[in-house]
Structure 1
Amino acid sequence: MTTFLLVAACGGLGAVTRFVLNTSIQRLWNNAFPLSTFVINVIATFCAGIAAAAYAYQTVDQHTYLLFVTGFLGGFSTFSTAINEMVSLTRKERFGMAALYCALTIVVPLLCVAAGWFCIAVTQS
């Protein structure tokens, strides 16, 4: 039960962090491209790569990994919002922007996970 509550608390912290970052970026960015969600998911996937490598190299234990990845990053990242923004761009007939956002939302996070993993792998060599 304690782990359940800790994951929930970390998820709440992640959601609040996403809200603050999302609001801050949206104040500064006035463009059709949904930059705030993109930046949040890029940060989350980079951190997930770091966490996965740290767990694989036994730098962090399973409990810490669970709290950070499932809890905090689960509350912080938001793939469903990215999909909703793609649909919204398509409904507004911004097909090029929707396609670009879709491609970037898939490719860049994969690269970020690899980069995060690489950061830990280099230090373990």
Structure 2
Amino acid sequence: MNQVMLVGRIAHDLVLRTTTTGKSVLSFSLAVPQAFSADDKADFLPCVIWNQGAENMMKHCEKGMLVGVTGRLQRRMYESENMKNYIVEVIVSDIRFYAKAQKKPVQEPFFMKPDIQQPIMPREGG
């Protein structure tokens, strides 16, 4: 049996591609936290989703979003610079959307720091 279930955050911006045969494909990395890690380490796992799933994910997901994926592991080979490279990736069959990306609130300073390079000039007439 080859089945994997993962929950993690989308690690980079999504890019939807179309194959020469007209199929939609979306590749992404899923940052999955390592259990029992003292310093919040994560594994970055390559994932691929095809067809309507790829199009839906492109519409509804963004970098940093928490998702759950179900799929199977696939090992494939590709060549670059006359070298054979092997990769194991998750072929996603189902995706669940759990939470939007965590946006850090922009905090405005509540005071202005003085510019110590400029001397303070006394007011005239005062």
Q: Same fold (TM over 0.5)?
A: no
TM-score, length-scaled by structure 1: 0.23
* The structure with more radius of gyration: 2
Larger proportion of strand: 2
Relative contact order: is structure 1 or structure 2 higher (C-alpha 8 Å, sep ≥ 6)?
A: 1
Larger proportion of helix: 1
